[in-house]
Structure formats: C-alpha cells, structure tokens
Chain A
Amino acid sequence: MSMNRRQFLRGTLATGAAGVAGHMGLGLGASPAFGAVHDARGEGTHELFKKFKGNVVLLPGKYSGTVSALDLSAPETLAWYNYGLDGMDMPIPHHIAAMPSADPYKSFDFYQTMQPPGAPYVNENSPEWRDRGDFKMYKMRYDGSGQQNRISVVSDVSEATGMGLGVHVSIGVGQNANKYVAYADGQKDMVLITDLGDDPKIVKAFKCDYDPVSRQLHVSHIFPDSSTGKFDLLGRKGMKTSHEAMLGEELMPADPTAVFVDAWTWHPELPLGAILIRRLGCCVIVNTETWEPVALLSTAKGSPDTFPEVKQKGSTWTYSVPSVLTPLHEAGFTPSGEYFLACNNVLQNNIAVFRSTDPDPLKWKKEAFVEGFGRKYLPLHMGNVPDSRWVFFTIWARKPNNGYICKVDPKTWKVVAQWDTGPDPHTCDCTVDGKYITTVYSGHQAGQSGLVVINADTDEIVARLPSPAGHHDHVVVPESWEGLKSSRSTSV
C-alpha cells in the first residue's frame, strides 16, 4: 500500500507523536516538520481542528483584494498576497483553481482570475468607476519551504496571451490532466485554454455570440494576431457589457449578442469539456482532441436534450436555439464522469441530470431533475466528493433570504440534507479525504461572512471560521490529479 506525504503526516500526528508531550518536546519556535507552520498541539482547539491536517484552503477575498492560504488544521493563515501589489487599482480576486500538490504546506501553484468593479453586487457603473480594476488571470505560487511563507505571482497570463478574462478558471483532469487550464468570462463571452507552463502558451480560444433575430448561437474559434502571437483583448477590450450579470440577472437587457459564458468544466474520463452559457440555458460540449464543438446541450426541463447544429463555416459552428425556457448558472461532471449536472435557475429552479458516459455527447439524455427549490432559491454552484457518493450544491437567494447548501443523493436525485450556513453562500469544495465539505459565505459583501466545514456524511457543521474578505470562491488544494477531479475542474 502506497502512502503519500500528506497521509504520512496525518498518520504521524495521530499516533502519539502528537499531544502535549510532543509539543513540549518541540519547545518554542518553528515545528521541525514544516518551515513556517504553526504547531497547535496542546492548544484548546487542537482536538477540533487536527482532523483537517493536510488541507490547505485558498481564499480569494473579493473585496479585500487578497488571496490567502489557510491551514485548516491550525487554523491559521499560512500566507497572503494583495493583488494591489501588482499595480492594480481596486483588485477584485474572483475565481480560483489549485494545482495538485502532495505537500501543500511546502509548495503548490494556483490560478486566479480578477474582475473589474462593475461586478455582481457592486455594479459600480457610475463614471468614476469605469476604469478601475481589471480583467486578469494570474498563475500564482505558494512557497512554504523556508522560514517565511510566501505567495507570489508566477506569471500574468493575461499579459502573456493578450486576453483578459475574469470569471471561472478550471484545470484539466483525466485525459486532459497535466496539460491545460481554462479561463472564461461572461462580459466578453470568451473561453481561453492555455498550457500549464510558467510562460503560458495559447492552446485554443472560443467566442460565443447570440443572434436574437434568427435565434441562433455562433460558437467560434478566435485566433491571436499572427505577428504578435497574442490577442488584442486586454482590459475592457472585447467587453459586451460593463458588468457581469448578477446572480439571477440573466433576464437583464444587455448587448443582444450577449450569452454570459461563465465557465469551462472538464469531463473526468473522456476527452471532452463544456462551455457553460448562462443566458441560453445551454452547454457547448467540445472535443478536447480537436477543440471542435460536438453538441449543444439544452438543460431546461421541457426542452430537448440537445439543440441542432445548423451549419459549420470555417471556424464557426452555428446552433439553432429556438427557445430558452430558463437560464442556467453552473454545470459540471461528477468525478466518476457518470453524470453531467446543470443548475437551471431564475425561470426554472432545478438541477438537470444528464448521463454523460457515452463518448458521443449527442446521445446524452436528461434522466432526472433535482427539484423543490421554489421560486426564491437558485441552484448556483456544484461541489463534488471523490467517490461521487453525494453531490453538493449552493442554493443562492436574494436578500432578505440567506440561501443554503444542500446535499443530493445521486441514487435518487433527492435533496437529503440542507444547511443555512449564512447569508450569501458561494462555492462548495471538499477536504482531500472527501469526508468534509467546505463552503464560504460573504454576507452580500458586507455582513456576516466566513468559512463553514460540514461533515459530508453525518451532516454536522463541525467548524465555522470568520473572514471579512467577502469570499466568492475558495478551493482546497488537491493532493493529486485524481483528487483534482473533485475540485475546480469537473465542476465550479
């Protein structure tokens, strides 16, 4: 039986080396095990948090302009970085994805997107705010190998590619593991795929446009300038609307071509990825060997499983979208790859369940719907556990309602537990052992906020940590490429 470093560390702490005696033996100063990690043994909260050893949680602070790495087992912040240090006025760290690391206390890389202030909740579109903030993607690195932990910028992906996108980021798994990272943006309706290098290279880029007259969706490959090798889409260039549609705001009037692309999620087994299109309630399934769209799933209840391709001309694929019965927000795969789940919201609040095992996505069928959310609660984000025994969802609500987190049984597609974790809940993730669910809430960017940890099986809330940073996302650093399948890859 093999044991990785993280399992070894957990085992060590659980077998007598831990405890007061061990702590006393260490004396004052840094633990010998890690360069700059607090040793909480002997402290009153140690018994409560020690079970989280091995879990480092990345927390982007949407309104603090920071990203921090939290050792959930101490708990303490290992390191933090303010993106204002990179020269940005009003930085808004938005979404995040972490590369796998066998020892996250020592080192790991992660990707971060940035969004300008005309963002959900804020919508500061008044003149003074129009030029603040920026669309950015960064590759970042945590270094815990010395006496001073650090988070630093490895590369400005937007500058390297000439394209600035500000919403979800996801890292390839399965057949796409250790190859690609995908960025998306709903103000520009674009997706960019790059390699994972420190000097990132463009692999493929997509743009989506709706024609409201013909009711057709155009999905196009877009190409960098041949002379520079880069796009000319930095900052606000290419922006269709100056603020991202607020949650549930898919009905808002916008540029007629706007479809609000939100994310790319990766199939864990097949060479496929999905472009999530909020406003059309659709997902473009793309073959990641050819990067060609192969199906357009329609996720609404009462709509067909797929909408037909009507033509392909050059690098543009055109689909007929004759009706849109509801928008969606996020959609993703279970780690087994057996199901593709789509969070329909606003006009229908349900979760569509497609079986996604067939290599031909045109054969994927909606088999069930998770229902019962009423008209005040929107299925929003999706969280997985490694063995796919449960699926977790964030169910968001407008003020004065809090929203909640729910657990769904994939055998019955029924909600079997739910938690009012606090106002304005956002993403779910799981600890590396799959035993606990982590989730953040931001108090509508000003009020009650923090991080909550839930036992995935007993349904007990086992920890609650405060945070003033207004978290819109978070991620637990996965321990392996297999572990990434239940992180920011298959779902967002």
Chain B
Amino acid sequence: MTENTEKRARTLIGAAKRRSGVFGAATFAGLLAFSLSQPALSAQEEGAFPTADEVGGDVFPDGLKAGDPFPTDIELYDANGKPVELAEQLDGKRSVLALFISAVPASVGELKALEKAVDTNSAQLLFLNTDQVGTALLGGDKIKETARTLRVIKHEEGLKSPMFVAPNNVFAPNGLSNRLGIRGLPTVVVVKADGTVENVFVGSQDWNKRKI
C-alpha cells in the first residue's frame, strides 16, 4: 500500500465513521491487507484493470477541487478531429470547461443551459466530450467519428461554443476521468486565468439561478 492509498483509506474510514458510525478498525485492517495483496504489475500491461490504489482508493474519488491546477497536457481534438493543445485554448483566460459525454442525455441537455448561464465577457465556455463513440460494428476512426457526433449534437442543440473531443480510457490509471477523479457527467470546471480551479459543479445544475 502506498502512502497515498493509506492516506486515502484513513480518510475514507474517518469519513465513514462520521457518516455512518459503523465503520470499524477492522475495516481499515481489511483494506490494508487487500491492498498489500495486490500484485505490483505494470499499469500498462495489456488487458489489465486499474487497482484502487491507482484511481484514488475509491470508485468515487474526491476529484478536482478549488485551488488545484487544471492539467493542460490532456489529449484534445477539435470538432474536426484535429489535435489541439488545451493550453492554447485556455489562452490565459478564465474558462468554463463543461465535461460531458454524448452517451448521457442529461449531460448533453446541460450544454444549452450553460450557454445561457455563462457571461462570455468574464469567461469563455468550452465543451469537452470526455469519451469516444464506439465503432465496433461499422469500423472507422474513433476520433473522427466522435468529432462527427459532436458536430451533430452542436447542430441539433443549436450550440455556439467550441466543442472538443477529450478521449478517455477508464481502464488506464492515467485516463482522463481517473486522472481528474470524474465519475459524474456533466462536470463543469471553472478555471481561473492563472490555470487553477475556481469551482467544480458535478451533475445537472439549475443554471437559471446559478450564473458564471
């Protein structure tokens, strides 16, 4: 068990005690024993799944919080499937990054409401599809197919903001959702001009009442 996982386990136990009052010392001992029993295989080994240790110790990790730097070295493509740099897109501006997934209706439904809620004089709004559509039956390039799906969504929803493909691999410890600790979409991250996180909103919000 690494120092991080041990810290995470202790945090969980503490949180569990506070929330339920039923988590005992045996729980931590069990978690410790389990983590020690995990083989130390390379995370890149083909077909391997991540260990708890590699994804924050929990199916629902804490995730990004205010003050954290938002990573700019993520893989990103524009709506035509062309590779782009997030840092260039942020361009030192206060930015609202709406991480969504085309497979979640509630997630797609949030985008239009966000365009009304974000004051583009104070922040730019960017939509990041954090997944790729499947091509198992028809074949084809996943990035291009996902970019095409974005263009369809943009047309159908009447969206104006730039849309991007941010590929995710849930099985890789450094996959985007594991790296950012994201399990619920939409997740809206407000990034300050200095690149640090200002605020995080998980799940659908009442954007009529909440303005950015």
With contacts A304-B22, A323-B16, A376-B47 taken as known, whether A252 is within 8 angstroms of B170 at the C-beta atoms is yes
Given A304-B24, A322-B20, residue A127 in contact with residue B103 (CB < 8 A)? no
Which residues between 295 and 348 of chain A lie within 8 Å of chain B, taking CB atoms? 301-304, 306-308, 310, 320, 322-327, 345-348
Number of A-B residue pairs, CB cutoff 8 Å, is: 198
Is the beta-carbon distance between B59 and A280 smaller than 8 angstroms? yes
Contact A253 B20 (CB under 8 A): no
Give the CA-CA distance A310 to B9 in the complex, in Å. 23
Interface mask (B140-155 → A, CB under 8 Å = 1, otherwise 0): 0000010011001000
- Contacts A127-B152, A326-B52, A348-B52 given: A375-B136 contact, CB under 8 Å? no
Q: In this assembly, does A483 line the interface, its C-beta being within 8 Å of a C-beta of chain B? A: no
State in angstroms the CA–CA spacing of A35 and B24 once bound together: 64
Digit string of A339-369 for contact with B (CB within 8 Å is 1, else 0)? 0000001111100000000000000000000
Q: Is the CB of B184 within 8 A of A308?
A: no
Interface-lining segment among A15-23, A40-48, A238-246, A427-435: A238-246
Nearest CB of B to A117, in Å:
7
A255: B residues at CB distance < 8 A: 104, 106-107, 184-185, 203
Contact call A242/B152, Cβ cutoff below 8 A:
no
Least CB distance, A320 to chain B, in whole angstroms:
5
CB <8 Å contact, A252 and B177: yes
**A126 interface residue (CB < 8 Å to B):** yes
- Kindly report which residue of chain A lies nearest to residue B16, judged by CB atoms: A322
> Beta-carbon contacts of B2-37 to A below 8 Å, as 1s and 0s?
000000010010011001111110011011111001
Query: Once bound together, how far apart are the Cα atoms of A5 and B103, in whole Å?
Result: 50
Determine if B199 is an interface residue (Cβ-Cβ < 8 Å).
no
B175 nearest CB neighbor, chain A only: A251
With A and B bound together, what is the CA distance between A255 and B145 in angstroms?
Answer: 22
Interface segment among B38-46, B72-80, B81-89, B189-197: the answer is B38-46
Asked, given contacts A251-B178, A254-B183, A301-B30, whether A213 binds B202 with beta carbons under 8 Å apart, the answer is yes
A residues contacting the other copy or chain, number (CB 8 A): 61
Interface membership of A118, Cβ < 8 A: yes
**Are B170 and A249 interface neighbours, CB within 8 A?**
yes
Contact across chains for A253 and B177 when beta carbons are under 8 A apart: yes
CB atoms of A445 and B136 under 8 A apart:
yes
Q: Are A256 and B202 neighbours in the complex by a CB distance under 8 Å?
A: yes
Do A375 and B49 have beta carbons less than 8 Å apart? yes
**A256 pairs with B47, CB closer than 8 A:** no
A242 engages B52 (CB within 8 Å)? no
Contact indicator B50/A346 (Cβ below 8 Å): yes
A378 close to B (CB within 8 Å): yes
Would A325 and B31 be within 8 Å (CB), given that A213-B202, A253-B131 are in contact?
yes
Inter-subunit contact B20/A241 (CB<8 Å) = no
A181 in the interface (beta carbon within 8 A) = no
On whether the beta carbons of A348 and B12 are closer than 8 Å, the reply is no
Which residues of A have CB within 8 Å of B50?
251, 346-347, 375
Which stretch in A142-150, A192-200, A395-403 binds the other chain?
A395-403
Decide: B133 and A125 in contact? CB cutoff 8 A.
yes
Q: Nearest chain A CB to B124's CB is how many angstroms away?
A: 23
User: Is B203 within 8 A of A256, CB to CB?
Assistant: yes
A284 to B165, CA, bound (A): 37
**Cβ of A248 to closest chain B Cβ, rounded Å:** 6
- Judge whether B174 is part of the interface by a CB distance below 8 angstroms: no
* B58 lies within 8 A of A254 (CB): no
- On whether A253 and B187 interact (CB within 8 A), knowing A303-B27, A324-B58, A398-B47, the answer reads yes
Using CB atoms, name the residue of chain B closest to A403. B47
- Identify which of residues 86-103 in chain B touch chain A, using a CB-to-CB cut-off of 8 Å: 99, 101-103
- For chain B, the count of residues having a C-beta within 8 Å of the partner chain is 67
Residue of B nearest to A239 (CB): B105
For B28, list chain A residues within 8 Å (CB): 302
Task: Say whether B133 contacts A126, CB under 8 Å.
Answer: yes
Given contacts A122-B136, A375-B38, are A253 and B59 in contact (CB under 8 A)? no
Residue of A nearest to B149 (CB): A126
Residues A346 and B34 in contact, CB atoms below 8 Å apart: no
Residues 117-132 of chain B, each 1 if its beta carbon lies under 8 Å from chain A, else 0: 0000000000000110
A11 to chain B, nearest CB (A): 47
Tell me how far the C-beta of B186 lies from the nearest C-beta in chain A, rounded to whole angstroms: 9
Q: Digit string of A27-56 for contact with B (CB within 8 Å is 1, else 0)?
A: 000000000000000000000000000000
Provide the residues of chain A in CB contact with B171, threshold 8 Å.
248, 251, 398
Task: Contacts A253-B187, A254-B104, A375-B39 given; indicate if A324 touches B47 (C-beta within 8 A).
Answer: no
Interface residue from B12, B106, B184 paired with A322 (Cβ < 8 Å): B12
* B136 A121 Cβ-Cβ under 8 A: yes
Which chain B positions have C-beta within 8 A of A134? none
The answer to whether B34 touches A126, judged by C-beta atoms less than 8 angstroms apart, is: no
Knowing A125-B102, A213-B202, A253-B101 touch, does A320 contact B34 (C-beta < 8 A)? no
> Bound complex: CA of A283 vs CA of B59, how far in Å?
16
A279 within 8 A of B: yes
Residue pair A324, B59 in contact (C-beta under 8 Å): yes
Q: Which residues of A contact B104 (CB under 8 A)?
A: 240-242, 253-255
- Residues 194-210 of chain A: 1 if any B CB is under 8 Å from the residue's CB, otherwise 0? 00000000000000000
Residues of chain A in range 121-137 having any CB-CB distance to chain B below 8 Å: 121-127
Cα distance A158–B174 in the bound complex, in angstroms: 41
Residues of A near B102 (CB, < 8 A) are 125, 242
**Nearest-CB distance from A119 to chain B (Å)?**
9
Complex formed: what's the CA distance from A95 to B101 in Å?
27
Return chain A residues, CB-CB under 8 Å to B149. Answer: 125-127
* B48 touches A (CB below 8 Å): yes
Q: Would you give 5 A-B contacts (Cβ < 8 Å), ordered by A?
A: A123-B133, A253-B130, A253-B131, A255-B107, A401-B46
Chain A residues within 8 Å of B, Cβ to Cβ: 117-118, 121-127, 212-213, 215, 239-243, 248-257, 279-281, 301-304, 306-308, 310, 320, 322-327, 345-349, 371, 374-376, 378, 397-401, 445
- What are the nearest 5 A-B pairs in CB distance? A123-B134, A256-B184, A302-B31, A302-B30, A324-B59
